[in-house]
């Protein structure tokens, strides 16, 4: 029923990535999402792919704009060859403050820039894989030179005859970026704040359809990865702990105005304004009081291991066939988690 992907802590040291990926593969996950925040996402992906034989690995999501599309294309192509076709390139735009202040990169309107970014990657892959002339000339990116000395060999054709170039996914929250994912990418990777079923049904899927229509394709050609914050575990004590972990994360996320669209849909914009005001006042200890159990249960599916597969089917069945599911914090719970993963996959 679902493709099930694991996630990983953004602070996980590189020395532990290989073991984490092997554990995800042993548990039966279809794939692993790797972050690009504390560590370089492409390096993390390389370690995870090199440590596994079956597991797909996706950057979720690589901060695109500080990196040239050409350097990303080179790395993505290398990872695709290294892994025998198991790499998936997820891209995100990030916010202006980080692009300018953290990366010292020039800012421009993110949606037009991301459109050119994805299309230029496709032009580069087409040159390398199919021998097409490299002739991408946009307003922001121009790629017109590819000498044979620098051109990699084509990747082996897939068993089904399809294009072996890396799939390109996009992270998006706002209406224009999520619609763009439907227009130019292979799929949208949701954010925890826009993964509630009602929001997916009433907002996200409609935007994907609009974007797909602009490019003359069916919306079914666009994958949807739902990355919700799942609260699960073997017993009520674990659920209680995980509830508070997720509550804390949601309070941090919803203190940022750009994440408020889903709050607005449910009539909770005032909660976002409260959180934002508290952070500006430095009252971090008061944040958790704003998100009550009703909100928590709206944005995060909750259930013990014996229940959570049914909960996730109820939430996401018919909306997507691709979800994330957390690896147990305690490895002694791996067998129970593996059973859930098999159930979600339809086994």
Domain CATH code at residue 332: 3.20.20.30
- How long a stretch of residues is the chain? 347
Indicate whether 12 and 38 sit together in one domain: yes
Indicate whether 275 and 307 sit together in one domain: no
Indicate whether 111 and 218 sit together in one domain: yes
Is 340:305 a contact under the CB 8 Å cutoff? yes
Indicate whether 263 and 310 sit together in one domain: no
Give the pLDDT band of residue 347 (cuts 50, 70, 90).
low
Specify the pLDDT at position 66: 97
Indicate whether 217 and 290 sit together in one domain: no
Indicate whether 146 and 254 sit together in one domain: no
The model's pLDDT over 79-96, given as tens digits with 9 standing for 90+, comes to 999 999 999 999 999 989
d(CA 128, CA 298): 46
Domain count of the fold of the chain: 2
Specify the pLDDT at position 17: 98
**Considering the entire predicted model, what is its pTM?**
0.95
Range of the domain at 267: 235-300
Instruction: Tell me what the mean pLDDT of segment 271-288 comes to.
Output: 90
The model's pLDDT over 7-64, given as tens digits with 9 standing for 90+, comes to 999 999 999 999 999 999 999 999 999 999 999 999 999 999 999 999 999 999 999 9
Indicate whether 124 and 261 sit together in one domain: no
Indicate whether 113 and 242 sit together in one domain: no
d(CA 312, CA 343): 11
Concatenated DSSP letters of 80-130? HHHHTS-EEEEEE---HHIIIIIT------HHHHHHHHHHHHHHHHHHHHH
Give the pLDDT band of residue 158 (cuts 50, 70, 90).
confident
Domain-ending residue, one of 265, 280, 300: 300
Indicate whether 198 and 259 sit together in one domain: no
d(CA 78, CA 128): 12
Indicate whether 193 and 295 sit together in one domain: no
d(CA 268, CA 99): 29
Indicate whether 150 and 290 sit together in one domain: no
Indicate whether 184 and 69 sit together in one domain: yes
């Amino acid at each position: 029923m679902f493709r099930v992907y694991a996630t990983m802590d953004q602070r996980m040291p590189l020395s532990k990535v290989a073991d984490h990926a092997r554990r995800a593969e042993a548990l039966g996950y279809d794939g692993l999402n790797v972050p690009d925040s504390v560590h370089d996402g492409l390096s993390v992906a390389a370690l995870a792919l090199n440590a596994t034989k079956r597991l797909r690995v996706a950057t979720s999501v690589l901060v695109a704009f500080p990196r040239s599309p050409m350097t990303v294309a080179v790395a993505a192509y290398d990872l695709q060859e290294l892994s025998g076709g198991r790499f998936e390139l997820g891209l995100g735009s990030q916010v202006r403050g980080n692009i300018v202040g953290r990366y010292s990169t020039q800012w421009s309107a993110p949606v037009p820039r991301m459109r050119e970014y994805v299309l230029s990657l496709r032009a580069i892959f087409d040159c390398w894989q199919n021998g097409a002339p490299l002739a991408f000339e946009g307003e922001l990116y121009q790629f017109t030179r590819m000498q044979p000395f620098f051109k990699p060999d084509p990747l082996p054709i897939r068993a089904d005859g399809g294009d072996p170039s890396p799939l390109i996914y996009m992270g998006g929250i706002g209406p224009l970026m999520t619609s763009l994912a439907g227009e130019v990418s292979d799929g949208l990777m949701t954010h925890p704040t826009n993964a509630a079923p009602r929001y997916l049904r009433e907002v996200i899927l409609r935007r994907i359809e609009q974007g797909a229509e602009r490019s003359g394709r069916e919306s079914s050609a666009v994958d949807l990865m739902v990355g919700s914050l799942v609260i699960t575990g073997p017993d009520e004590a674990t659920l209680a702990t995980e509830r508070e972990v997720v509550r804390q994360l949601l309070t941090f996320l919803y203190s940022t105005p750009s994440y408020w669209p889903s709050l607005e849909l449910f009539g909770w914009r005032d909660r976002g304004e409260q959180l934002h005001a508290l952070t500006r006042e430095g009252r971090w200890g008061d944040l958790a009081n704003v998100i009550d159990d009703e909100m928590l249960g709206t944005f995060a599916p909750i259930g013990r291991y014996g229940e959570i597969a049914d909960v996730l089917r109820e939430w996401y069945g018919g909306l997507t066939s691709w979800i994330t599911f957390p690896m147990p914090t305690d490895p002694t719970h791996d067998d129970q988690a593996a059973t859930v993963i098999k159930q979600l996959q339809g086994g």
